Amino acid sequence: MRVLLTGAAGFIGSHIRRDLIAAGHEVIAVDLMLPAAHGPGAPVPEGIRQVDVRDGAALDVLLHGVDVVCHQAAVVGAGVSAQDAPAYASHNDFGTAVLLAAMDRTRCRRLVLASSMVVYGEGRYRGVRCGTVDVDVRRREDLAAGMFEHRDPASDEVLTWESVGEDVPLRPRSLYAASKLVQENYASAWAAVTGSSVTALRYHNVYGDDMPRDTPYSGVAAIFRSALESGQPPQVFEDGRQTRDFVHVTDIAAANVAAVEQPLPGFLPLNISSGRPITIGEVAATLAAARGGPEPVVTGRYRPGDVRHIVADPDRARRTLGFVAQVDPIAGLTQFAFAPLRDSAGVYAPTL
Ligand code: UD1
């Protein structure tokens, strides 16, 4: 198949590019080489063209004869300040809108979209008395008092998490999350209007070789890993019992190859996860043990806006794509403890 891959020089995009080529696909690889991700003036890797997805005329040329677009280009991270909002809107939302219009002009009818579990916001919770509930953002007073778990407001009962399927209500909690949901909405409307197919892969917490070193925009695995490398203990926020699903980048790449190869009708969101939840405390302990210390420190500090537990139900991706993650998080994180990391681009905020 002929595939246009955007964000091809990024952490995830470069793994997908390698796997698509290995699977025999013809890959047209593009990347904007944003300074926030690659550093200012970084050389464009061989085989990749420097293209901005917001440039519709450039896309019209590149999309000629393309069967499917695999759209990974995005400004990532949770959003450090409100000043990041225009960059998220411009690259993630306007960029996707320009791409969809160009795909319409060139009659390209299939999109594989990099989405994220951040569209869910808080996950799902259950109480003995209240059953399954959708919870609100945790209150600052509770966090400050060390009450990290969600509670039933009526009975004060501590709620337990449930795994999240794709059809739960979507409640983005950060600027980045808002931009990923808007991107999904544009893609879904485009699929309906044009009769096209969109497979939206909602990545859970991705880690693996060539992950960027820690910046204010990095995920926690890179932050812990970078701390350990410089002899510092990982700083675990809250009580360390917050739960996530850590999925290895090789599994993310495999899910993308499967989605490229298998047309699925209409707009279909899929959780892409390991299916094996893990606490942040366990992530820190696994990385620290693999590197021989220092031991993690559970700080009790918290970041306002962080969600408590978000755990995927991987079943739909298995049924529709045949995707089952191969890397167990404990084994994968143990290997990640010494994996190569990308040099940090510094702490540059994303630019327009
Ligand atoms: C992360 C990404 C999000 C991405 C999603 C899915 C960031 C900032 N967030 O969301 O963009 O879409 O995964 O891949 O990139 N923590 C510590 N110590 C630290 C830093 C964080 O204990 O030094 C804790 C946080 O409080 C949180 C957990 O680790 O409870 C996960 O944090 P993080 O990886 O930043 O963000 P997610 O919310 O999981």
Q: What are phi and psi of 129, to 5 degrees?
A: -85, -40
Residue 36 confidence (pLDDT): 84
Indicate if ligand 1 lies below 6 Å from the C-beta of 129. Answer: no
Residue 338 contacts residue 290 (beta carbons within 8 Å): yes
Q: Which residues, in sequence order, are bridge partners of residue 207?
A: 248
Q: How many CB atoms lie under 10 A from the CB of residue 214?
A: 21
pLDDT tens profile 294-349: 999 999 999 988 999 999 999 999 999 999 999 999 999 999 999 999 886 665 67
Q: Name the residue of 175, 220, 232 whose CB sits within 8 Å of the most ligand 1 atoms, as the mutation to test its pocket.
A: 220
Residue 40 confidence (pLDDT): 83
Indicate if ligand 1 lies below 6 Å from the C-beta of 120. Answer: no
Residue 80 confidence (pLDDT): 66
What average pLDDT score do residues 72-95 get? 89
Q: Where are the beta strands (DSSP E) in the chain?
A: 2-6, 26-31, 48-50, 68-71, 110-116, 124-127, 131-134, 160-162, 197-203, 205-207, 235-236, 243-244, 246-248, 267-272, 278-279, 297-298
Q: How many CB atoms lie under 10 A from the CB of residue 339?
A: 16
Comparing 213 with 186, the larger pLDDT belongs to: 186
Indicate if ligand 1 lies below 6 Å from the C-beta of 80. Answer: no
What average pLDDT score do residues 23-49 get? 93
User: CA-to-CA distance for 196 and 188, rounded, in angstroms?
Assistant: 9
Residue 169 has pLDDT above 80, yes or no: yes
Q: What are phi and psi of 82, to 5 degrees?
A: -60, -20
Residue 79 contacts residue 226 (beta carbons within 8 Å): no
Q: Please list, residue by residue across 118-144, b when 16 or more beta carbons sit within 10 angstroms of its beta carbon and e when fewer do.
A: bbbbbbbbebeeeeebebeebeeeebe
Residue 248 confidence (pLDDT): 98
pLDDT tens profile 245-258: 999 999 999 999 99
CA 219 to ligand 1 centroid distance, Å: 5
Indicate if ligand 1 lies below 6 Å from the C-beta of 121. Answer: no
Residue 343 confidence (pLDDT): 80
Of ligand 1's listed atoms, the one at least distance from the Cα of 284 is 22
User: CA-to-CA distance for 4 and 107, rounded, in angstroms?
Assistant: 14
Indicate if ligand 1 lies below 6 Å from the C-beta of 11. Answer: no
Residue 141 has pLDDT above 80, yes or no: yes
Entry pTM = 0.97
Of ligand 1's listed atoms, the one at least distance from the Cα of 308 is 30
